[in-house]
Amino acid sequence: MKKKSLFVKFTVLIIAAALTIVIITNIALILNFNRIRNHTEVLRNFHLTAGLFIEKMPIGDTAAVRAFIDGRGFDVRYIAPEGEWASAEDVPDTAIVRKYSRNRDVFWYRKRLISLFSTDNGIVILQASNPFGQFSVPPDILLTWLILLAGIFGMVHITIRRWLAPVRAMQVGVKKISEGDFSVSLPETTGDELGLLVQSFNRMAQQIRNDIRSRDQLLRDISHELRSPLSRMLLALEFLPEGLSRQTIRNNIITLEKMTGSILEEERLDSPFGKIKREEIELCSLIDEIIAEKKNTSGSIRILSEGSVQLRADRERLRIVFSNIIDNALKYAPSGKELVEVHIRQEKLTVDVHVIDNGIGIPEDELPFVFEPFYRIDKARKHSKGYGLGMSLAKKIIDAHNGKITIKSTPDKGTAVLIRLPVC
C-alpha cells in the first residue's frame, strides 16, 4: 500500500476547505451584486434618496457640505464654473461618468452606485461610500451560503473521522490486550503513519499469540510426558519402607501431579471436547463438601448463605475453583489465626460468592497479574511452594461458565475474591 503522510493530508484538507469557503463566499457576493445591479427598483430608490439628500445639502458652502455628508454614507463631487472639488478621491469625474453612465442618471461603477444631478449652479455626482453598504444579503442567498458552509464542515468532519478511524481501532485493540484478549486483529485500511502503526500493532499481537501458543504447547507436552513417570514413581514408592523420606517423596510427587493436572485441565477447557458440562447443582452443599475435605487443616471456615442456591454449572470444575480459592485463603493467613468466610447470595439471574480471608493480602500493583499462569506475588513465595496455576485455572473455568471473577485486597489485612456466575 502506497504511503501517504497523514500530516500532508491534513494540510491539504485544511487548505482545500479554506479555499472552498473563500470561493463560495465570493460566489454569494457576486450573485447578490448581480441581483442588486439588475434590480430597477433599487436604482430608482437610490436616485430618489440621493435627490432628497442634495436638496438639503448646502451646495454653495464647501465646508458646510463636508460637514453635512460626514457619516451619512455618501461622497460628493461638485463641478461648477468657478471650480471643482470632491469629498473623496475615488468619486468619478465627468469623463468617467460620460463613459459609464450611458446617459443614465443612476449607474454602477466599481460596485458602487453613482447618481448624477444637474443644478443651476453646476453638476453634482453622488456616490455611495461603501460597496454594498446600503444593502443587506437576501435571506435566500444567506441561507444557501450557510447550508453550503455546513456541508463543507460536515465533509471535513467525516473525512477526519475516516482518517482517524485507526486511532479508535487502536484504542479498542489496546483495551482488549490489557484485558488479556490477544486474539485481536485490527483492520489495515490506510498506508499513512496511522496505518503503519496499526500494522505494527497487529504484528505485535500476532507475536504475543505465537509466544503464548508455544508456551502453552510446551507446558502441555511436558505435562503429558510427566504423567506416566509420576504414576510409576508412586507405584514404586509403595515398595519403600515407611518413614519421613518416603512421605517427603510422596508429597513432592503429589505436588507435581497437581501441577500437571492443572495444566492438562486448562488444555481440556481449550479443547472442543473438554467444554463444561452443565447440570443442576446446589452450590451450598458443594462448598460444604469442600470444607469437609479440609477439616484437618488449621483455621476456621465459615459459610454464610440465605438458603439453598441452585444453578446450572459443571460441578467438578466448580469444585476445583472453590477448592483452590479456599486453599489459598487458608495458606496465606497468619498461623493460628486463619479465618475464612464464604458468603453466598442468589440474585435473580446470578449467584455471587465472596471468599474473604484475613491473610497477608496482595499489593495493589500485583493485582492485575494474579490470574496469569505461574505468577506468584513476592509475599506468597515465602509462605508456600505453589506454582501459581490455581487462580489461572479458576479464572479459565469461571470464564467458561460466562461468569466473572475479581479480587480486592489490602496488604496485611486480607483478600476478598468475588465470583459471579449465571444461574443458567
Q: Which of 14-23, 248-257, 405-414 has the highest mean pLDDT?
A: 405-414
pLDDT of residue 134 exceeding 50, the answer is no
pLDDT of residue 133 exceeding 60, the answer is no
CB burial of residue 395 (10 Å; 0-12, 13-18, 19+):
buried
- Portion of the chain with pLDDT greater than 70, in percent: 81
Q: Are 306 and 345 in contact (CB under 8 A)?
A: yes
Residue 403 pLDDT level (bands cut at 50, 70, 90): very high
211-217 own/partner pairs: CB under 8 Å, 24+ apart? 212/182, 216/266, 216/267, 216/270
- Portion of the chain with pLDDT greater than 90, in percent: 7
What is the rounded distance in angstroms from the CA atom of residue 240 to the CA atom of residue 342? 41
Give mean pLDDT, residues 28-47: 71
Q: Are 318 and 376 in contact (CB under 8 A)?
A: no
Give mean pLDDT, residues 245-249: 75
Look at residue 296 in the predicted model and tell me its pLDDT: 61
Q: What is the pLDDT of residues 113-131, one digit of tens each?
A: 888 888 777 888 888 876 5
Q: Provide CB contacts within 8 A for 216, sequence distance 6+.
A: 266, 267, 270
- Residues 155, 156, 157: CA angle, nearest 5 degrees: 90
More confident residue, 181 or 35: 181
Residue 5 pLDDT level (bands cut at 50, 70, 90): low
Look at residue 417 in the predicted model and tell me its pLDDT: 93
pLDDT of residue 37 exceeding 70, the answer is no
pLDDT of residue 63 exceeding 90, the answer is no
Look at residue 418 in the predicted model and tell me its pLDDT: 94
Q: Provide CB contacts within 8 A for 381, sequence distance 6+.
A: none
More confident residue, 412 or 28: 412
pLDDT of residue 156 exceeding 70, the answer is yes
